[in-house]
């Protein structure tokens, strides 16, 4: 493939990823498959993906702060266990192959969709956020989010949104702003661990980052608008359903092929 075409694909994927990661999640569902399709090994793609996410987070945090949408106190509190989990998760990811947890990823995404569609009013209703308190089990959940995000960043933002909205009680507008701050240290730390292990392609990461900055800025500008909540919810559902289709197709057919090989060999 022509190098200029690759450049445009990376820029476009970075823009879409920055936008999706800011207003909902799952921008990595675009960038990870693209990098692998264009020739990067899966482990390098996993590490490189953190670069554009980190840059996009910075852009979205700046935009959210200008809108005075960030609850800094709770965001910083939640970032601590998330960071600790990310250190462990990213360290594990540098020595294990992600294919071994393929079905675990699939079931985790399915669980998110079930929760999202089971009671959408809880996600979309307005909340008074002045007196919301972070409890010990919220910290435990954010540790788990950091663990997962450090290992494979896919859907970590979705889990963070769910804890902030369904667990703590923020509305989607406020939760998006807090999410950007709370999981930023996780992103930076996991990127550093992958870079230390030599699993980051900085050229590709920086190209993706250029698009991610623009996408994150647009997403943050839209995310604080009242009418965007229903679209955030819809985008989450669509993205996650597509992820489930892709994951089930990939891992089912891998398992099916392996099973057929065993059957033909011994029977």
**pLDDT at residue number 258:** 41
**pLDDT at residue number 259:** 41
The Cα 104–Cα 147 span in angstroms is: 14
**pLDDT at residue number 100:** 55
The Cα 20–Cα 218 span in angstroms is: 10
**pLDDT at residue number 78:** 95
Comparing 222 with 170, the larger pLDDT belongs to 170
User: Tens of pLDDT along 19-73?
Assistant: 877 766 667 767 777 787 788 887 788 888 889 888 888 888 988 888 888 899 9
Overall domain count for the chain? 1
φ/ψ of residue 222, rounded to 5: -80, -35
The Cα 134–Cα 179 span in angstroms is: 14
**pLDDT at residue number 267:** 41
Query: Is pLDDT above 70 for 7?
Result: yes
Comparing 178 with 27, the larger pLDDT belongs to 178
Comparing 208 with 31, the larger pLDDT belongs to 208
Query: Is pLDDT above 80 for 248?
Result: no
Q: Which long-range contacts (CB under 8 A, 24 or more apart) does 177-180 make?
A: 177/64, 177/67, 177/69, 177/70, 177/71, 177/75, 177/223, 177/224, 178/70, 178/71, 178/74, 178/75, 178/78, 180/22, 180/57, 180/60, 180/61, 180/64, 180/70, 180/220
Domain that holds residue 19: 3-266
Cβ-Cβ contacts under 8 Å for 263 (sequence gap 6 or more): none
**pLDDT at residue number 88:** 92
**pLDDT at residue number 83:** 94
The Cα 198–Cα 178 span in angstroms is: 31
State pTM to two decimals.
0.69
**pLDDT at residue number 128:** 55
User: Tens of pLDDT along 114-160?
Assistant: 766 665 555 555 555 556 788 899 999 999 999 988 877 667 887 88
User: Tens of pLDDT along 214-246?
Assistant: 888 887 777 667 666 677 667 767 766 776 776
Neighbours of 94 (CB within 10 A): 18
**pLDDT at residue number 75:** 93
């Amino acid at each position: 493939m022509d190098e200029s075409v690759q450049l445009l694909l990376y820029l476009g994927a970075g823009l879409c990823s920055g936008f999706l990661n800011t207003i909902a999640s799952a921008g990595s569902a675009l960038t990870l498959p693209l990098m692998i399709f264009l020739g990067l090994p899966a482990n390098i793609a996993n590490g490189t993906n953190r670069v554009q996410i980190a840059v996009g987070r910075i852009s979205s945090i700046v935009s959210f702060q200008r809108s005075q949408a960030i609850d800094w106190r709770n965001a910083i509190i939640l970032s601590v266990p998330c960071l600790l989990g990310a250190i462990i998760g990213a360290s594990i990811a540098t020595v294990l192959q992600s294919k071994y947890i393929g079905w675990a990823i699939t079931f985790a995404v399915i669980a998110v969709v079930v929760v999202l569609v089971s009671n959408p009013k809880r996600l979309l209703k307005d909340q008074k956020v002045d007196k919301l308190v972070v409890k010990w089990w919220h910290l435990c959940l954010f540790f788990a989010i950091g663990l997962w995000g450090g290992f494979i960043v896919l859907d970590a933002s979705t889990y963070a949104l769910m804890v902030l909205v369904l667990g703590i009680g923020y509305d989607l507008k406020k939760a998006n702003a807090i999410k950007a701050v709370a999981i930023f240290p996780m992103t930076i730390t996991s990127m550093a661990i992958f870079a230390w292990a030599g699993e980051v392609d900085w050229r590709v990461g920086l190209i993706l980052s250029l698009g991610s900055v623009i996408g994150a800025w647009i997403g943050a500008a839209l995310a604080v608008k009242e009418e965007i909540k229903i679209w955030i919810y819809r985008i989450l559902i669509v993205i996650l359903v597509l992820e489930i289709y892709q994951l089930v197709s990939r891992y089912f057919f891998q398992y099916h092929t392996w099973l057929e090989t065993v059957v033909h060999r011994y029977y």
